[in-house]
Amino acid sequence: MSYKAFKFDNDTDLNPTDGDIVAPGGIIKYTNEGIHGPEIQFLGRSLPLATGILPTAAAIGGTALGARRGGVRGGLAAGLGATAASMLTGNVIEAERRKRNEASNQAYYDKLDKLETT
């Protein structure tokens, strides 16, 4: 299914093996073939998993853990550190995904070029 068809499809799909999941009514959707890799869509708004949801979850967890151990300053420091580390990790994952897609596309077009020249 194309990405645009996935965005506007509200039929329930709870089978995770086909690459996408749609909750009843289309309120929450997941796809592993989004524009920015895996993404979750909530009420029509997409959030990339690696660069959107991962840093947010790390910031919340880091802030809570830091506040428990070191008070307000500890919570702020731990939250900022967790956010920075997870943003870096998410961007590395995204860069690797883009590199692999570019290599795959280049190999495909190289095959087409060889077919045209023969």
pLDDT, one tens digit per residue, over 102-115 is 888 888 888 877 77
Backbone angles phi, psi at 33, to 5 degrees: -120, 40
User: What average pLDDT does the chain have?
Assistant: 83
CA–CA dist 80, 76 (Å, integer):
6
- Give the helix/strand (H/E) hosting 20: strand 20-22
Q: Does residue 4 have a pLDDT over 70? A: no
Residue 69 in this model has a pLDDT that exceeds 80 = yes
Looking at residue 110, its pLDDT comes to 83
CA 6 to chain CA centroid, nearest Å: 15
Over the stretch 47-68, which tens digit does the pLDDT of each residue have? 888 888 888 889 999 999 888 8
C-alpha to C-alpha distances, 105 to 48, 77, 90, 109, 110, nearest whole angstrom = 22, 42, 22, 6, 9
The pTM of the full predicted model, rounded to 2 decimals, is 0.62
Assign 3 a pLDDT band (cuts: 50, 70, 90): low
Give the C-alpha separation, 65 to 78, whole Å: 7
